[in-house]
């Protein structure tokens, strides 16, 4: 297992794979990610877009999420974060690995 220290702003997973020469192209990165060959904290990939700042004055936040696709090995979900006035604060998607959990 190779560990990589990231000291700058967030970086997309495919960019990291290319930067560290783990793949040769963005297409190859997309393939290995979609095949579940790259996992970060149980998540194959996560993308978050922040639309506006959140402060103490923002008030209550509400998150809505729904599955986009559920397969045998991977699931993709999307989520939306809204403030008390219903304005979009952030949105994102995540592709997660599906694990079978056994009871000992």
CATH number (domain holding residue 78) = 3.10.129.10
Q: Are 17 and 23 in contact (CB under 8 A)?
A: yes
Give the pTM. Answer: 0.54
Please give the pLDDT value at position 89: 94
Mean pLDDT for the chain?
A: 80
Please indicate, yes or no, whether residues 44 and 89 belong to a single structural domain of this protein: yes
- Which residue bears the tokens 């994102």? 92
Q: Are residues 15 and 66 in the same domain?
A: no
Shared domain for 45 and 61, answered yes or no, is yes
pLDDT of residue 83: 92
Query: Same structural domain for residues 56 and 94?
Result: yes
**Residue 101, φ and ψ in degrees, nearest 5:** -110, 125
Quickly count: other Cβ atoms within 10 Å of residue 12's Cβ: 13
pLDDT of residue 42: 64
* Greater model confidence, 39 or 1: 39
72 and 59 belong to one structural domain? yes
Mean pLDDT over residues 26-44, rounded?
72
Q: Is the pLDDT of residue 57 over 70?
A: yes
Residue 54 structural domain: 40-104
- What is the number of domains present in the chain? 2
83 with 63, same domain? yes
Q: Comparing C-alpha atoms, which of 69, 89, 87 is closest to residue 77?
A: 69
């Amino acid at each position: 297992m190779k560990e990589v220290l990231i000291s700058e702003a967030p970086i997309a997973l495919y960019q990291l794979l290319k930067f560290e020469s783990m793949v040769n192209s963005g297409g190859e990165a997309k393939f290995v990610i979609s095949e579940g060959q790259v996992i970060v904290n149980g998540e194959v990939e996560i993308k978050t877009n922040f639309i506006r700042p959140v402060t103490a004055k923002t008030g209550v936040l509400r998150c809505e999420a729904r599955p986009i696709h559920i397969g045998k090995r991977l699931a993709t979900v999307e989520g939306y974060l809204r403030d008390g006035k219903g304005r979009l604060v952030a949105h994102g998607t995540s592709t997660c690995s599906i694990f079978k959990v056994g009871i000992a």
